[in-house]
């Protein structure tokens, strides 16, 4: 799953999340891209939130009938979260210049 995450650098909160690409079953995987109610769960969450699915102790509700796709999006969000934490100081430094 390809994911685009917009983040407010001042508050460390997500502005929006969108699925850009997927390789899931047509009609199932595409729901994550087209059904904004699922990805909108990430909006306004802190970058320290638990982006996993609720079934696994996270804060995100899976899409009904698309658990694998939901898990893939959550894992992509977790990867973005880890990258953000690692790269934020460098991003801020470049913006300041």
pTM score of the predicted model: 0.86
Count of the separate structural domains present in the chain: 1
Domain coverage including residue 83: 2-96
Q: Which among 9, 4, 6 is positioned nearest to 95, based on CA atoms?
A: 9
| The Cα angle at residue 23 between residues 18 and 28, in degrees rounded to 5 | 75
pLDDT digits (tens, 9 = 90+) for 25-68: 666 667 888 888 999 999 999 999 999 999 999 999 999 988 88
pLDDT digits (tens, 9 = 90+) for 12-28: 999 999 988 766 566 66
The answer to whether 69 touches 63, Cβ cutoff 8 Å, is yes
């Amino acid at each position: 799953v390809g994911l685009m995450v917009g983040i407010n650098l001042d508050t460390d909160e997500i502005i929006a999340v969108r699925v850009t690409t997927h390789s899931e079953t047509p009609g199932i995987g595409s729901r994550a891209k087209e059904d904004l109610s699922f990805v909108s769960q990430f909006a306004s969450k802190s970058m320290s939130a638990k982006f996993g699915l609720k079934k696994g102790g996270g804060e995100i509700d899976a899409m009904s009938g698309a658990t694998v796709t939901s898990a893939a999006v959550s894992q992509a969000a977790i990867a973005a979260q880890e990258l953000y934490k690692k790269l934020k100081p460098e991003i801020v430094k470049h913006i300041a210049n």
